[in-house]
């Protein structure tokens, strides 16, 4: 990896939700800088360990997003993520004529 590539960052400067009553909302900072952990060599253990890591990481991101972002922003994030995956949900129906 080049030195320039190693220092690049994906940054999104967005608005956080307004506080509800007297409860201030935390600023949001999501950092993805750790390498994915080495996992067991056996296929079954590796798949299970990978799945557990994906769930843990996804849960942490979702909790951080929900703690800080407005509901409208969360709705649009979901919409955009589903749009990116939409082609995976297409079912082809071949008609026999």
Angle (nearest 5°) at CA 67 between 64 and 72: 105
Q: Which residue has the tokens 């939700």?
A: 17
Q: Other CB atoms closer than 10 Å to residue 57's CB: what's the count?
A: 13
Residues 6+ apart with CB under 8 A from 39: 45, 46, 49, 50, 53
Residues 68/29, Cβ–Cβ less than 8 Å: no
For position 1, what pLDDT does the model report? 44
- Record the pTM: 0.70
Q: Give residue-wise pLDDT tens across range 16-66.
A: 999 888 888 889 998 888 888 776 676 666 677 788 889 999 999 999 999
Q: Which residue has the tokens 């990978």?
A: 50
């Amino acid at each position: 990896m080049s030195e320039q590539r190693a220092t690049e960052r994906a940054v999104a400067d967005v608005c956080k939700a307004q506080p509800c009553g007297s409860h201030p909302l935390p600023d949001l900072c999501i950092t993805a800088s750790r390498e994915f952990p080495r996992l067991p060599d056996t296929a079954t253990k590796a798949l299970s360990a990978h799945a557990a890591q994906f769930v843990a990481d996804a849960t942490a991101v979702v909790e951080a997003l929900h703690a800080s972002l407005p509901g409208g922003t969360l709705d649009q994030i979901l919409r955009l993520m589903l749009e990116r995956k939409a082609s995976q949900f297409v079912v082809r129906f071949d008609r026999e004529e």
